[in-house]
Amino acid sequence: MVAEPSRPATIAARIDAFTDFIGRWASWLVLAIVLLMACNVLLRYLFDTGSVWAQELEWHLLVPVVLVGMTYTLRHGEHVRSDILYFRFTPRTRAVIDLVSALLIIAIALLILWFSLHYVQQSFTIDEKSPDPGGLPHRWIIKGMIPIGFALLALQGVACALSAAAQLRLAGRQH
């Protein structure tokens, strides 16, 4: 008989699946950035022309890639960590490190989310736009990705904390 996964494990799995979905979506933006940059370079060097909005669109597309990418990277354990030390620790010690790290990620992500809300709201209120002629309007849209990105990071931090807590319980039973 196969045991059903616990509620925390189910929640973590759903968050992981959501992160994977969002990460795959964001990966398509990388292709869009590459194509846009190639077009901008070709227009600039072959036809001596270009547009400010197209150049600004490059970093407008890069922002969600970076903000979603940090969450996707955390999900797959590819974040910065001293693996040479980490993998020498016992499973229990690794679980403690993972749990503490996840809790710190949640706290930092929620702080950045909270402090960015005023920044986005201010941009929305004045309908901030590019200071450059021909630039993109509604800069608040791209600034709005900051709290969204950090909310996703906090959510993935919850999944990591739940998984680490489960590993810690498992490691505790083995001793």
For 78, phi then psi, to 5°, come to -100, 10
> What is the structure's pLDDT at 135?
82
Asked whether residue 21 carries a pLDDT value surpassing 90, the answer given is yes
Which of the listed ranges 15-29, 50-64, 65-79 does the model predict with the highest average pLDDT?
15-29
| H helices present in 76-90, as ranges | 83-86
Spell out a b/e string for 65-97, using b for 16 or more CB atoms within 10 Å of the CB, else e.
Answer: bebbbbbbbbbeeeeeeeeeeeeeeeeeebbbe
Nearest to 163 by CA among 106, 102, 107: 102
Say which residue, 59 or 28, is predicted with more confidence.
28
Mean of the pLDDT values across residues 1-17?
79
The pTM for the full model equals: 0.85
> What is the structure's pLDDT at 137?
85
CB 89 within 8 A of CB 129: no
pLDDT tens sequence across 93-145: 888 988 999 999 999 999 999 999 999 999 999 988 888 888 888 888 899 99
> What is the structure's pLDDT at 86?
74
Angle 79-83-88 from CA coordinates, rounded to 5°? 145
> Is residue 17 helix, strand or coil?
helix
Average pLDDT, the chain: 88
